[in-house]
Amino acid sequence: MPGIDPDITGWLKHSFIDYPGKVSTVLFFSGCNLRCPYCHNPSIVKNLLPPVPFAKIKDYLALRRSIIDGVVISGGEPTIHQSMLPVAASLRKEKFSIKLDTNGLNPQMIEKCNPDYLAVDIKTSFCRYSELSCVMNDCKERLTDTLEIVRKMGEQAEVRITVAPLLIDDSVITELADILKGVAKIYLQPFNRTSELLDPSYKELEPVSQEKIQEYRDYIEQITGACKIRGE
């Protein structure tokens, strides 16, 4: 499919954890409109990997319909690519369910993709996204629109918050808990400094303690009625 191949630069053929309730294959689109220091896909974000032919992916899936029933569209940030839309449409035509992983900054692309399951990563306070190299002056409005999509999707959508040092603290959690009211599924996930990171210096930072993460979980759950620590 013309115009698609240069954008898919990573592929996890089998996953039992990336799509709730489904065995999936995961496609990683290159590039991102943010630069999160703890990102564990730096080669994909920096577009350092060779493209994966979409035809090869489709041929692989055609032979494994009895095993794989979902496709995760991830990144990087897939919504910066118009090619994400024909990829999703082509896979849906073949009866695969679509999960979209996104930072939520392109709500119009999310709506056009119309995923069967949506996972949105909220990074920090909406007013601090400039610290992640976000150049959009309407960042708050974009994220607010995306959260409305999440609310409408109910149990078929989730918000994820990586509890990263410097970006998540008591004040940020207090703000986000109020913003996330009405979201059916909220997950906190510990910052992982063991893998390759976009900013290697982040490995030197002390992770937020498990006790503190549990405190954040309890607070958000009290406000929203929906928060878990990933893996619990």
Task: Express each pLDDT in 32-78 by its tens digit.
Answer: 999 999 999 999 999 999 999 999 999 999 999 999 999 999 999 99
- 192 Cβ contact partners less than 8 Å away, ≥ 6 residues apart: 38, 40
Under the banding of pLDDT at 50, 70 and 90, the label for residue 6 is confident
In this model, does residue 96 exceed pLDDT 90?
Answer: yes
Alpha helices per DSSP H over the chain:
42-45, 54-62, 84-93, 107-113, 139-153, 170-179, 210-224
Instruction: For 164-213, write each residue's pLDDT tens digit.
Output: 999 999 999 999 999 999 999 999 999 888 888 999 999 999 999 999 99
Helix (H, G, I), strand (E, B) or coil at 122: coil
What domains sit in the chain, N to C, each tagged with a CATH number? 5-229 (3.20.20.70)
Cα 183 from Cα 114, distance rounded (Å): 18
The per-residue pLDDT for 198 is 93
Residue 232 DSSP symbol: -
Residue 127 CB partners (closer than 8 Å, separation 6+) = 140
Contacts of 209 (CB under 8 A, 6+ apart): none
Answer yes or no: is pLDDT of 1 > 60: no
Tens of pLDDT, residue by residue over 201-226, are 999 999 999 999 999 999 999 999 99
